């Protein structure tokens, strides 16, 4: 699948007659809210884990030295915590462009913290996209993040902001926190 997913996403959902939709954020959408929303609620989705397995050459890295950003990977029994936003369909024009590097909109069932549920959408970079990097040791992911800088800033800033946001949400994402701790102990000479 091509890395640029703008056109693919435009054809995926018919928003005709739809006033608002829940959008689930598990990465930068938790802390970089550059879109209007009608309502915001902490939520989770079942059967997915957050992983720094997607390459970023347009935001947190470059084509020559891609950074690493999060996507979701299916895992039975797992729960991924994040933030849900009720948005108007127009918001997806902006987000499809912002998250064009391999992310497709998928339908998911959201569970809010009070146990109530709703259908929603989530952006996921699947393994068949050109920018997908896949698994690596925590320390190697941290080294790659320590080196990478892109138009949106240092990749390390992305990691640290996400880790802080997850702590505020009360999520213990062991994958994110392990990479954060490797990154904190990496000296300039180690990268």
Catalytic (active-site) positions:
99
Helices within 33-154 (DSSP H only): 91-98, 138-147
Taking CB under 6 A as the binding criterion, the range among 22-30, 35-43, 147-155, 167-175 that sits at the site for ligand BEZ is 22-30
> Alpha carbon 42 to chain centroid distance?
15
Under the criterion CB under 6 A, does residue 52 sit at the interface with ligand BEZ? no
Helices (H), 60-154: 91-98, 138-147
Name which of 29 and 131 has its Cβ closer to ligand BEZ: 29
Q: Return the H-helix or E-strand segment holding 89.
A: none
CB nearer to ligand BEZ: pick between 25 and 61? 25
- Nearest of 49, 67, 47, 48 to residue 57 by alpha carbon: 67
Smallest separation, CB 86 to ligand BEZ (Å): 15
- What span, in angstroms and rounded, lies between the C-alpha atoms of 109 and 158? 26
The stretch among 24-32, 39-47, 140-148, 176-184 that binds ligand BEZ (CB under 6 A) is 24-32
| CB closer to ligand BEZ, 169 vs 186 | 169
**List of residues contacting ligand BEZ (CB under 6 A):** 25-30, 70, 99, 103, 123
């Amino acid at each position: 699948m091509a890395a640029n997913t703008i056109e693919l996403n435009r054809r995926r959902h018919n928003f005709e007659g739809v006033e608002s939709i829940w959008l689930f954020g598990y990465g930068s959408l938790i802390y970089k809210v550059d879109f209007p929303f009608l309502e915001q609620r902490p939520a989770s989705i079942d059967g997915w884990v957050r992983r720094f397995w997607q390459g970023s050459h347009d935001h947190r890295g470059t084509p020559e030295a891609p950074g690493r950003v999060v996507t979701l990977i299916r895992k039975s029994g797992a729960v991924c915590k994040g933030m849900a936003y009720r948005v108007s369909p127009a918001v997806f024009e902006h987000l499809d462009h912002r998250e064009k590097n391999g992310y497709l909109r998928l339908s998911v069932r959201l569970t809010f913290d009070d146990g109530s549920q709703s259908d929603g959408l989530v952006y996921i970079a699947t393994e068949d996209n050109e920018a997908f990097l896949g698994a690596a040791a925590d320390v190697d992911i941290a080294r790659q993040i320590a080196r990478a800088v892109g138009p949106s800033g240092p990749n390390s800033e992305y990691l640290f902001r996400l880790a802080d946001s997850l702590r505020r949400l009360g999520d213990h994402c062991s994958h994110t926190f392990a990479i954060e701790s490797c990154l904190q102990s990496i000296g300039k000479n180690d990268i």
